[in-house]
């Protein structure tokens, strides 16, 4: 005998771009480009176990609904739009108990022409994305998180790594000055919201949370005299929690992108290690992967 232990289905990679126009100057425009995943849970077992499509909200309808709700509602901040979309599914269909909405927001940053910010022209300034996740329950409760992914950073000094276990497996030399580079993947979870109205009342916190987490991440990466990726990561989390009272916990997943020194002394005694290191070999793999979640203990 077998049983269906878990089932969740939906539409992934729903793409949309929304243009919002300023009320008084329609040429002043704002653009938001998203890739969205909508997943639903509930009384849907018979679709799997009895080939019964009666409970199926089609994934095609989920895509249509996403487009329609994007037209009828603000899509920014993405935490709010994810909540609106998730709430729609659990309130429209009695048998749907949970909706999970994942939004990836791609960068379109307004740029300046001759020093003046242009009204409707934007640049993709990097592959970094902003992410938002909403988990909406049939009771109306909403669990929200925001985040950043693929923010690639590098510092050419200000990072050391020494004092670790030295045993028969160890070949890594200790260093007091190394290159540090990572692709920031950070997620912060907000305190639970009772319903969509509570999310609407807290709306300013989502943009503030994103801006402050991004600024803290970049500033700490630059200014911390890093003892390790682990230690720098923990400092970032502590600062984000101190700056945002609605955030419950912060997590990071930081790949350690290694750049190795190259010994060139075989060529005419060329000095290129330690304090003389300038030409490095970027490593694509393997890479370290340092992760942690930091939460409030009160």
- Can you say which residues are annotated as belonging to the binding site? 59-60, 161, 178, 229-230, 256
258 is catalytic: yes
The binding site for 5-hydroxyisourate consists of 60, 161, 178, 230, 256
Q: Which of 26, 126, 192, 288 binds ligand URC (CB under 6 A)?
A: 288
Query: Is residue 51 classed as helix, strand or coil in its secondary structure?
Result: coil
Q: How far apart are CA 191 and CA 245, in angstroms?
A: 9
Residue 175 binds to ligand URC (criterion: CB under 6 A): no
Residue 173 binds to ligand URC (criterion: CB under 6 A): no
Q: Which of 161, 190, 193, 206 binds ligand URC (CB under 6 A)?
A: 161
CA diameter of the chain: 78
CB 160 within 8 A of CB 177: yes
The catalytic position among 59, 91, 175, 273 is 59
Size of the site for ligand URC (CB under 6 A): 7
Q: How far apart are CA 59 and CA 63, in angstroms?
A: 6
CB 219 within 8 A of CB 281: no
Cβ nearer to ligand URC, comparing 105 with 232 = 232
Residue 81 binds to ligand URC (criterion: CB under 6 A): no
Q: What DSSP line would sit under 94-116, residue for residue? A: TTEEEEEEEEEEEP-EEEEETTE
Tell the smallest beta-carbon distance from residue 230 to ligand URC (Å). 6
Q: How far is CA 238 from CA 189, 244, 294, in A?
A: 14, 10, 7
Residue 172 binds to ligand URC (criterion: CB under 6 A): yes
Residue 228 binds to ligand URC (criterion: CB under 6 A): yes
Cβ nearer to ligand URC, comparing 256 with 273 = 256
Q: What one-character DSSP code corresponds to residue 174? A: P
59 is catalytic: yes
CB 216 within 8 A of CB 236: yes
Residue 154 binds to ligand URC (criterion: CB under 6 A): no
Task: Look at residues 125, 101, 100 and name the one whose alpha carbon lies nearest to residue 111.
Answer: 125
Tell the smallest beta-carbon distance from residue 290 to ligand URC (Å). 6
For tokens 């709010």, the residue is 80
Cβ nearer to ligand URC, comparing 117 with 288 = 288
102 is catalytic: no
Q: Which of 156, 248, 256, 287 binds ligand URC (CB under 6 A)?
A: 256
Tell the smallest beta-carbon distance from residue 247 to ligand URC (Å). 25
Tell the smallest beta-carbon distance from residue 157 to ligand URC (Å). 15
- Residue 229 is encoded by which pair of tokens? 């990726």
Q: How far apart are CA 82 and CA 84, in angstroms?
A: 6
Residue 188 host element (H or E): strand 180-190
Count of CA atoms in the C-beta half-sphere (13 A) of 228? 12
Specify the stretch interacting with ligand URC by CB under 6 A; choose among 24-32, 78-86, 223-231, 245-253: 223-231
Residue 252 binds to ligand URC (criterion: CB under 6 A): no
Active site residues: 11, 59, 258
Binding residues (CB under 6 A) for ligand URC: these are 161, 172, 228-230, 256, 288
């Amino acid at each position: 005998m077998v049983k269906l232990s878990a089932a969740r289905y939906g539409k992934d990679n729903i793409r949309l771009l929304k243009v919002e126009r300023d009320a008084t100057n329609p040429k002043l425009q704002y653009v938001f480009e998203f890739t969205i995943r909508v997943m639903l849970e509930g009384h849907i077992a018979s679709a799997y176990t009895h080939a019964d499509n009666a409970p199926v909200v089609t994934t095609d309808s989920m895509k249509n609904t996403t487009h329609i709700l994007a037209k009828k509602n603000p899509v920014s901040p993405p935490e709010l739009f994810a909540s609106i979309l998730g709430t729609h599914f659990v309130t429209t269909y009695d048998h749907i108990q949970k909706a999970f909405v994942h939004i990836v927001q791609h960068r379109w940053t307004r740029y300046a022409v001759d020093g003046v910010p242009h009204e409707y022209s934007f640049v993709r300034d990097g592959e970094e994305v902003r992410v938002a996740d909403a988990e909406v329950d049939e009771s109306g409760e909403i669990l929200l998180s925001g985040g950043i992914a693929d923010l690639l950073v590098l510092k050419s000094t200000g990072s050391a790594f020494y004092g670790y276990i030295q045993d028969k497996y160890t070949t890594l030399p200790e260093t007091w000055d190394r290159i540090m580079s990572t692709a920031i993947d950070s997620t912060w979870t907000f305190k639970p919201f009772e319903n969509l109205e509570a999310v609407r009342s807290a709306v300013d916190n989502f943009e503030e949370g994103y801006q402050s987490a991004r600024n803290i991440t970049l500033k700490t990466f630059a200014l911390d005299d890093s003892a390790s990726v682990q230690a720098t990561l923990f400092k970032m989390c502590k600062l984000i929690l101190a700056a945002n009272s609605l955030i419950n916990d912060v997590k990071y997943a930081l790949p350690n992108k290694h750049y190795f020194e190259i010994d060139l002394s075989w060529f005419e005694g060329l000095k290129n290690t330690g304090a003389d290191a300038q030409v490095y070999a970027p490593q694509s793999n393997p890479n370290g992967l340092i992760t942690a979640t930091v939460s409030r203990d009160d």
